[in-house]
Amino acid sequence: MSGEWILYIVFGATALVSAIGVVFLANPIHSALSLIGALASVAGLFLAQEAFFLSVVQIIVYTGAVVVLFLFVIMLLGIDSADPREEQLLRRQWFPWAFLGGVIGVGGLVLTITGIDLPFGVSGTDTADAVNEAGGNVQALSERLFTDWLLPFELTSILVVAAIVGGVVLAKRTKDLRGSGMGLTPDLAERISEEVEADAAEGELDPEDAFEADDVDPDPDSDAVLVGETSENGEG
């Protein structure tokens, strides 16, 4: 048995199982931990295909930065428990079958549209021998990146700076943002707590009531939360 098949089967199976875990686990923290498994398995699959640089970058960037950011936000916002409405959906008996059908349907659709009969006979200049001659995967990759792809590489720095500025502006809470709808100003905090209390008084935050079609308040000028729940009752 060829070694690459072993890597393919082990990491491929782990990737699929972890990816299913991301969707099926009701608790967002469990989903994030499952995501680590999926991303690390993809790193393993990169390794199997001799993309050594990407394999390491995948682990550093994804499991080291992206998933940590996810976990940080989940814990910061305190949504580390499952949403009762969502959990109810995930526990339905037909849900795994519907999910399986959806995956097979979408997968079959993609495979049919693209077709697997691609012109693989074409060969570029970066054969395994050429990569070895250049000094290895990292050297060959950097040579291409800093010659042919130099402009796109420099443009990504603009993107990253824009993302940093955007992230700071969005997540910041100061008086400068009053009126822009982004900051939590004192009057806004008061309004939110009033709304939450009003919702609690109406029993809207009670998960037991969320699925009761009879209890829906027909009052049209109540807030958007109610509208969302009304449509949900319609589909349930």
Partner 1 sequence: MEFLQTPPDPDAYIVLAVFLFSIGAVGFLVRRNAIVMFMCIELMLNAVNLSLVSFGRALSDLSGQILVFFVLVVAAAEVMVGLAILVAIFRRRARASADDMSSLKG
Site residues for partner 1, 150-189, by CB under 8 A, read 152, 156, 159-160, 162-164, 166-168, 170-171, 173, 181-182, 184, 188
How many residues in total does the chain contain?
236
Number of residues counted as binding partner 1 (CB under 8 A): 95
Among 94, 116, 186, 218, binds partner 1 (CB under 8 A): 116
130: Cβ–Cβ under 8 A, 6 or more apart, which residues? 140
Name the minimum Å distance from CB 1 to partner 1.
5
Binding mask 70-89 for partner 1 (x = CB under 8 A): x--xx-xx-x---x-xx--x
Determine which residue in the list 10, 37, 88, 140 makes contact with partner 1, applying CB under 8 A.
Answer: 140
Q: How far apart are CA 146 and CA 156, in angstroms?
A: 13
The reply on whether position 216 binds partner 1 by CB under 8 A is no
Taking alpha carbons only, the member of 45, 41, 44, 46 closest to residue 18 is: 41
> Rounded to whole angstroms, how far apart are CA atoms 92 and 90?
6
211 interacts with partner 1 by CB under 8 A = no
Provide the CA 138 distance to its chain's centre, in angstroms: 28
Q: Are 174 and 183 in contact (CB under 8 A)?
A: yes
The 3 state secondary structure assigned to 60-114 is HHHHHHHHHHHHHHHHHHCCCCCCHHHHHHHHCCCHHHHHHHHHHHHHHHHHHHH
Q: Which of residues 27-56 bind partner 1 (CB under 8 A)?
A: 28, 31-32, 35, 38-39, 42, 45-46, 49-51, 53-54
Contact residue for partner 1 among 10, 14, 20, 233 (CB under 8 A): 20
C-beta of 82 vs 215, nearer to partner 1 = 82
Q: Any contact of residue 145 with partner 1 (CB under 8 A)?
A: yes
Q: Is 196 in the site for partner 1 (CB under 8 A)?
A: yes
Residue type, 74: I
Q: State yes or no: residue 111 binds partner 1 (CB under 8 A).
A: yes
Other beta carbons within 10 Å of 46? 19
Among 37, 57, 88, 233, binds partner 1 (CB under 8 A): 57
